[in-house]
Amino acid sequence: MQHRLAPGDRNLLILAGLLIAALSAAAVISSPQGSRRLPGIASSYSAADDGAKAAYLLLEELGYHVERWDNSPEDLPGVAFRPFSENPEAAAANAVLVLAQPVYPASAEEKTDLMNFVRRGGHVLIAGGRPGFLVPDGAIKAAPFSAGLTKSYSAELPAPLTRDAPEIRLSAFTRWGRLSGDQLRYYGDSEGATAVSFSVGKGQVIWWASPGPLTNAGITQAANLMLLLNSIGERKGVRILWDEYYHGFRAGFWSYLDRTPVPWALIQAAVLLAAALVTYGRRKGPVRPLQRESRLSPLEFVETLGDLYQQKGGAAEALEIAYHRFRFLLLRRLGLPATTSLQEIQQAVRDHLGWVIPGFSETLLRCDLGVKNQHLTAAQSLHLIQELHDYTRRFGLSKTQFARS
């Protein structure tokens, strides 16, 4: 006996089939081709003339600790807070970041992380690429076409950057314009500088107008290799992080699968499975009564409690609850009694958690004074509670983080 599909089920299967056909066509059109190459990227994976695989492998053979960096700048040494780890300044000072012809722009948060990395002692080599990577606004200008052709540039300053590199050879269509502050020019022509260095906080930034000296085709020309080694420095115990994050090589298993047809296949399988489940559920699923939400839900209780505090004007009382909870969790983490003073808490956080970034002691003091201030406004109380919540997350004091530690 044959069972005929209901009109609604038949329409649903037809729609699922059309979606699968559309996804298959899109996968064929957008699937990566093995022969397709992106020119002009100085990637350490590329063996093309404009790639940088030779420089990367050469640094390894010379004994440098070099590694490919495909993480976000927030994971750079000295940027992310790690309890019980080395001092952020020491971690940043032991790292050199190589930004060789970055392709993708940096977000505002990433620019902040890069700036913090350099300010705490990190060193960055920027070889060409988009403006905006630690370079002051308006510093880079376009050069005439004739000035951008490959030619030699003589050293202009006796400095560690120009040691054994009296002449370099590169092609650059940009120049560094007027110098300011502690910016130093090492190579250039009448159009502007092609190699500049400047300090940011405890760190240093070296800028090249072009990645040519570190490419596979340019590293053997003139003294380009010595310029690369001088820019990195004679620090064989330092980590050299060769950036691939801004070349599109983002860390993670899904980032790899994103360059294959697997995501399209998974989407097709999910559409087909959803269609089958909906079709089966409509015909065989049980009929359940509609559940009504209880009026005693936790969200309603929280809203009611918040209205009571607002009507009373109890901003100080709300801060007191959050402050005492933060002290309890922090003292339990540090193994200190409840009578510990603010100065002792600050010293314990510095000694046991390795927290040296300013601001924590001021937050504790403002919270201690705010609890006693009956004229505290709701905005001030909210701001202090948000700071306490931020430190709770940073120190790992929440229930899940504390249990995990």
Q: How confident is the model at residue 35 (pLDDT cuts 50, 70, 90)?
A: very low
* C-alpha pair distances (Å), 399 with each of 45, 117, 246, 324, 325: 43, 31, 36, 16, 12
Q: Which residue has the higher pLDDT, 36 or 162?
A: 162
Using 50, 70 and 90 to split pLDDT, how confident is the model at 36?
very low
- 3-state secondary structure at position 213: helix
Note the pLDDT of residue 293. 64
Higher pLDDT, 79 or 237: 79
Which pTM value belongs to this model?
0.55
Tell me: pLDDT of 220 over 90: yes
68 or 8, greater pLDDT: 68
Strands (E), 244-294: none
Separation of alpha carbons 23 and 264, rounded Å: 7
pLDDT at 229: 94
DSSP state, 179? -
* Average pLDDT score over residue span 172-182: 90
For 334-364, what is each residue's pLDDT tens digit? 888 988 888 888 888 888 888 877 888 888 8
Q: How far apart are CA 68 and CA 243, in angstroms?
A: 6
Instruction: Give the pair of three-digit tokens for residue 328.
Output: 């309890």
pLDDT > 80? residue 177: yes
Low-confidence winner among 75-84, 178-187, 216-225 (lowest mean pLDDT): 75-84
Tokens of 187: 């190579």
**Per-residue pLDDT reduced to its tens digit, 45-84:** 999 999 999 999 999 999 999 999 988 899 899 887 655 4
pLDDT score of 334: 86
**Which pair of structure tokens corresponds to residue 112?**
């902040």
**CATH 3.40.50 residue ranges for the chain:** 53-250
Q: Whats the size of the chain, residue-wise?
A: 405
- The helix (run of H) or strand (run of E) holding residue 224 is helix 224-232
CB contact at 8 A, 68 and 55: no
Q: Is the pLDDT of residue 219 over 80?
A: yes
**What proportions of the chain, in percent to the nearest 5, are helix, strand and coil?**
45, 15, 40
CATH (one of 3.30.420, 3.30.1490, 3.40.50, 2.60.40) for 53-250 = 3.40.50
pLDDT band at 401 (very low <50, low <70, confident <90, very high): very low
Segment among 2-6, 47-51, 213-217, 385-389 with least mean pLDDT: 2-6
Which residues are CB-contacts of 401 (< 8 A; sequence separation ≥ 6)?
A: 393
Q: For residue 32, is pLDDT > 60? A: no
Enter the tokens of residue 391. 């430190």
Query: Across 63-67, 89-93, 146-150, 332-336, which has the greatest mean pLDDT?
Result: 63-67
pLDDT surpasses 70 at 34: no
How many other CB atoms are found less than 10 A from the CB of residue 133? 21
Is the per-residue pLDDT at 25 higher than 60?
yes
DSSP of 53-82: HHHHHHHHHTT-EEEEE-S-GGGSTTTS--
Amino acid at 2: Q
pLDDT in tens, 282-322: 666 666 777 776 665 666 666 776 677 666 667 788 888 88
Confidence grade of residue 4 (pLDDT, cut at 50, 70, 90): low
Over residues 152-167, the mean pLDDT reads: 94
